[in-house]
Amino acid sequence: MHMTMSTESALGHFDRHPLWRLGFRPLYACAAFAALMLPPLWVLLLSGGWSLPEDVSPIFWHMHEMIFGFAGATIVGFLFTAGRVWTGLPTPRGLHLASYAGLWLAARIAGVTGPYPVFMVLDLAFLPLAAACFFDLILQSRNYRNLGIAAILAALAALNLASHLAHAGLLPMAARTPMHGAVLLITLLESVIAGRIIPSFTMNALKGVQISAHPLMDRLTIATTLTAGLAWMAWSAHPLTALTLGAASALHLSRSWRWKAGALAQMPLLWILHLSYLWIGLGLALLSASAAGLLPASVAIHALSVGAMGGLILGMITRTALGHTGRVLSAGRLEIVAYALVMGAALTRVLLPLAGPSGHALAIPLAAGLWALAFGLYLIRYLPMLMAARVDGREG
């Protein structure tokens, strides 16, 4: 009887505590902690001040954890939150939600403590389970518009599997290949979500501003981005690949212009999204230059990951946390500093390596420090919000 009552009490805690009421709460916190810790640990690894288990490659760990650890937690947290709005159905909460966060955390710990097979098994479980849950929501609600997003989540899980198999020597390719594919896939997801939210957020904030819908151009942008990404994965150094990537870049830059980014100087919650989205166009242009043999691919990959992915994630986890905790959608000085820091990290990581080996050596610790400080500020401001009930008394 005592054990039963203790178990019921523990289960009740998960159901009652605000942290477990909606996906963004624990998973945004997990992602922000990862963003705070991972870059400094990478610098320590490079300097010899810290080491990983022998069967985990440092470069694999760095790339994998930033993509599938940091970005993976954010994407699942966002979809478990937006999915409730899109489908009208309840998304994981309580112990169910805590199990996702616990699985994610266990994988991160196993990645730095080993053994590698334990890390692999735990890590490979997270995204497929989340994708299955999201697919189920879509099918139950017949919200077929979002099947493409569910498919992207499933494809991200498949690329994670490929990266692990390649790292373990069970797949005849470099482990970085599927991880580069994951960066491009996340870029595609960002392009889809940005097309839905940035124009509407902009028109809602700037009264009188109208942004005309161009569904055909939006579909062309997404299709060209997908084609360019596949071309680069198959033929990274080919003139047609460079041409396709250049076309995708031009379409994204045209989108940025059409969305009237220049009118947003006084609205940090909007300009961080617009500036970060601009990095997609710039990153694809740099990838085009890489395919033409003019630049190293790592410059373009960091433009897409640090600039676009990092900036869009920071912008969205502030905006959605404010909105879903019942607060006014307004960024204060701390958020503005955090936004400036993550954009500074992107500029540092992309531009300094172009100056040669000395610039590259300086870029890594400087960008890591700026990035970690940005997400550290997020945690200072938002962790109390994520752990507290909505201020308006509503559920969520």
Distance (Å) of CA 329 to CA 26, 115, 130, 296: 20, 44, 28, 40
Residue 209: predicted pLDDT = 74
Asked whether residue 143 is assigned to any structural domain, the reply reads: yes
Model pLDDT for residues 288-321, shown as the tens digit of each residue: 999 999 999 999 999 999 999 999 999 999 999 9
Residue 236: predicted pLDDT = 87
Residue 259: predicted pLDDT = 86
Q: What is the mean pLDDT of residues 131-160?
A: 95
Asked whether residue 200 is assigned to any structural domain, the reply reads: no
Residue 2: predicted pLDDT = 43
Q: Of the candidates 192, 216, 243, which is a domain's last residue?
A: 192
Task: Tell me, yes or no, whether 308 and 187 share the same domain.
Answer: no
Task: Tell me, yes or no, whether 269 and 378 share the same domain.
Answer: yes
Range name among 100-109, 162-171, 198-207, 375-384 with the lowest pLDDT average: 198-207
Task: Tell me, yes or no, whether 85 and 166 share the same domain.
Answer: yes
Phi and psi based region of residue 209 (left: phi greater than 0; alpha: psi -120 to 50; beta: remaining): beta
Task: Tell me, yes or no, whether 291 and 343 share the same domain.
Answer: yes
Asked whether residue 239 is assigned to any structural domain, the reply reads: yes
Q: What is the mean pLDDT of residues 13-25?
A: 86
Task: Tell me, yes or no, whether 254 and 311 share the same domain.
Answer: yes
Number of domains observed in the structure of the chain: 2
Residue 384: predicted pLDDT = 96
Q: Chain-centre distance of CA 159, in angstroms?
A: 15
Written as one letter, the residue type at 81 is T
Contacts of 372-376 with C-beta under 8 Å, sequence gap 24+, read: 372/35, 372/36, 372/37, 372/39, 372/40, 373/338, 373/341, 374/35, 374/314, 374/337, 374/338, 374/339, 374/341, 374/342, 374/345, 375/32, 375/35, 375/36, 375/314, 375/338, 375/342, 376/36
Task: Tell me, yes or no, whether 163 and 260 share the same domain.
Answer: no
Asked whether residue 53 is assigned to any structural domain, the reply reads: yes
Task: Tell me, yes or no, whether 52 and 183 share the same domain.
Answer: yes
Residue 262: predicted pLDDT = 61
The model's pTM is 0.94
Task: Tell me, yes or no, whether 62 and 167 share the same domain.
Answer: yes
Residue 15 has pLDDT above 90, yes or no: no
Residue 394: predicted pLDDT = 87
* CB atoms inside a 10 Å sphere around CB 207: 6
Q: Of the candidates 192, 221, 253, which is a domain's last residue?
A: 192
Q: What is the mean pLDDT of residues 212-228?
A: 92
Task: Tell me, yes or no, whether 263 and 366 share the same domain.
Answer: yes
Q: Of the candidates 192, 223, 258, which is a domain's last residue?
A: 192
Percent of the chain with pLDDT over 90: 81
Residue 3 has pLDDT above 50, yes or no: no
Model pLDDT for residues 66-113, shown as the tens digit of each residue: 999 999 999 999 999 999 999 999 999 999 999 999 999 999 999 999
Task: Tell me, yes or no, whether 68 and 132 share the same domain.
Answer: yes
Asked whether residue 206 is assigned to any structural domain, the reply reads: no
Residue 185: predicted pLDDT = 96
Task: Tell me, yes or no, whether 36 and 144 share the same domain.
Answer: yes
Asked whether residue 39 is assigned to any structural domain, the reply reads: yes
Residue 11 has pLDDT above 90, yes or no: no
Parent domain of 136: 18-192
Cα–Cα distance between 72 and 74 in angstroms, integer?
5
Structure confidence at residue 396 as a pLDDT band (50, 70, 90): confident
DSSP helix/strand/coil, 255: helix
Cα–Cα distance between 323 and 319 in angstroms, integer?
6
User: Over the chain, what is the mean pLDDT?
Assistant: 92
Residue 7: predicted pLDDT = 43
* CB atoms inside a 10 Å sphere around CB 90: 11
Asked whether residue 181 is assigned to any structural domain, the reply reads: yes
Asked whether residue 197 is assigned to any structural domain, the reply reads: no
Residue 5: predicted pLDDT = 43
* Highest mean pLDDT (candidates 209-223, 262-276, 336-350): 336-350
Report residue 333 as tokens: 């000085």
Task: Tell me, yes or no, whether 274 and 136 share the same domain.
Answer: no
Contact by Cβ (8 Å): 324, 22: yes
Report residue 7 as tokens: 């178990």
Ranges of H-type helices in the chain: 2-16, 24-47, 58-64, 72-87, 94-113, 116-141, 147-167, 176-205, 215-234, 239-258, 268-291, 297-302, 311-324, 333-351, 357-386
Model pLDDT for residues 221-235, shown as the tens digit of each residue: 999 999 999 999 999
